[in-house]
Amino acid sequence: MLQFLATSTPFFAVIGLGAFSAWRGLFGSDAVRVLNTYAFMVATPAMVLRVMSRQPIAELWNGVFFAALALIGIAVMGLGILLARRLFGMSFPNAVSRGQSLVGGNFAFLGIPLMLAFLGDGAAAPIAIGLICDTALVVPLAIGLIEAGRGKGSPWRIAARLVRGTIVNPFMLSIMGGVALSLSGLSIPEPIDRFLLFLGGSAAPVGIFALGVAAWQWSREGRLPLRGVLPLVLGKLVLHPLLTWFVLAVVLRLDPFWVKAGVLYAALPIAANVFVISERFETDSRPLAAAIVISTAAAALTFPFAIWLVSG
């Protein structure tokens, strides 16, 4: 618990700073959109390109582990979309955002340091695979489905929107560039690497800061609904890790190290980029903002339990 609290403290501090700045009137009504556009379109691609290019993917790859995480994530996301549509009558883009929140964990900000702390020297492989699963599968799939769900058209037009939304965006292009550099063995020249490090370092703080600004603005206007937040929190902190443990440990009977890595990956709270993407593609991000904050606070209890589950 102490390790999680120490790692997550900056997250809450930046949210609080964003809310305080909004309370002081430093940001107008359009600030959240501008901040999130910068985080998603500019800073995050720089961060992803640099991080992915530095991972020795070919050396660390475990195909069974990746396939298991991917299929579990798709199944949980699909279940979230289905329930959001059937039980809450949401539009398809809004349902996709809810589904993404059930599998989109705060991997870059919390997952990497926590895996290093609990997995030791062997953490490099699950970190690399987790990054690929998170950035190259969950996020592009969510973006593509949201884009495909907009408007009407023939199946071919919907498929074209899906492909365009999944591939033709700075986020996905940065992933493909990073993977290509990693597999080729080429390194980014130092001046460019420093530029990407400097620019990419602002991605998480700006996205989290925007979350604080939005939370304050919505709460002041009485537009921060808590209805529907609890299922998102329980889905991410309970359903996702338990299903991951069951598949990896009971069905596939993987080595305990990989079971532990998979459960730690799945037990992470909802990522701030779920909110950033929701804002960017104009789905209802208000319940997501509340779910992100609540799930991160609740994970101070559920994450240690997940560690106990796989360490016993």
Looking at residue 223, what is its pLDDT? 55
Residue 212's Cβ-side half-sphere holds a number of Cα atoms within 13 Å equal to 22
Query: Residue 203 above 80 pLDDT?
Result: yes
pLDDT band at 148 (very low <50, low <70, confident <90, very high): confident
pLDDT of residue 252: 96
Residue 239: pLDDT band with limits 50, 70, 90: very high
In the chain, the percentage of residues whose pLDDT exceeds 70 is 89
Cα distance between residue 27 and residue 213, in whole Å: 8
List the single range of 134-138, 166-170, 250-254 with lowest mean pLDDT: 166-170
How many other C-beta atoms are found inside a 10 Å radius of the C-beta of residue 285? 24
Segment 98-118 mean pLDDT:
84
pLDDT for residue 218: 72
User: How many domains does the chain fold into?
Assistant: 1
CA distance 2 to 62: 31
> Which stretches of 89-133 are DSSP H helices?
92-101, 112-119, 124-133
Smallest Cα–Cα separation from 214: which of 14, 8, 18? 18
Least confident of 134-138, 169-173, 203-207: 169-173
CB 271 within 8 A of CB 277: no
Query: What is the pLDDT, as a whole number, of residue 163?
Result: 65
The confidence score (pLDDT) of residue 91 equals 92
Enter the tokens of residue 156: 């071919």
CB 149 within 8 A of CB 94: no
| Cβ atoms 31, 213 nearer than 8 A | yes
pLDDT band at 164 (very low <50, low <70, confident <90, very high): low
Please check whether residue 146 is in contact with residue 93, taking contact to mean a CB–CB distance below 8 angstroms. yes
Max avg pLDDT among 2-6, 17-21, 79-83, 272-276: 79-83
Asked if 77 and 95 count as a contact pair (C-beta separation under 8 A), the reply is no
Q: Distance between CA 47 and CA 175 in Å, rounded?
A: 10
Higher pLDDT, 127 or 206: 206
Residue 270 phi, psi dihedral angles, 5° rounding: -60, 135
At 158, is the pLDDT very low, low, confident or very high (cuts 50, 70, 90)? low
At 152, which CATH number? Answer: 1.20.1530.20
What pLDDT is recorded for position 255? 93
State the first-to-last Cα distance of the chain, in angstroms, to the nearest integer: 17
Joined tokens for residue 163: 């492909």
Separation between Cα atoms, residue 126 and residue 138, nearest integer Å: 16
pLDDT at res. 185: 85
Residue whose pair of structure tokens reads 């705060």 in the numeric block: 106
Cα–Cα distance measured from residue 75 to residue 242, given in angstroms and rounded to the nearest whole number: 13
What is the mean pLDDT of the segment spanning 73-77? 96
> Who has greater pLDDT, 160 or 240?
240
Q: Which two tokens stand for residue 296?
A: 């991160």
- Write out pLDDT tens, residues 254-269: 999 999 999 999 999 9
Would the pTM count as exceeding 0.85?
no
Range of the structural domain that residue 121 is part of? 2-311
Share of the chain above pLDDT 90, in %: 30
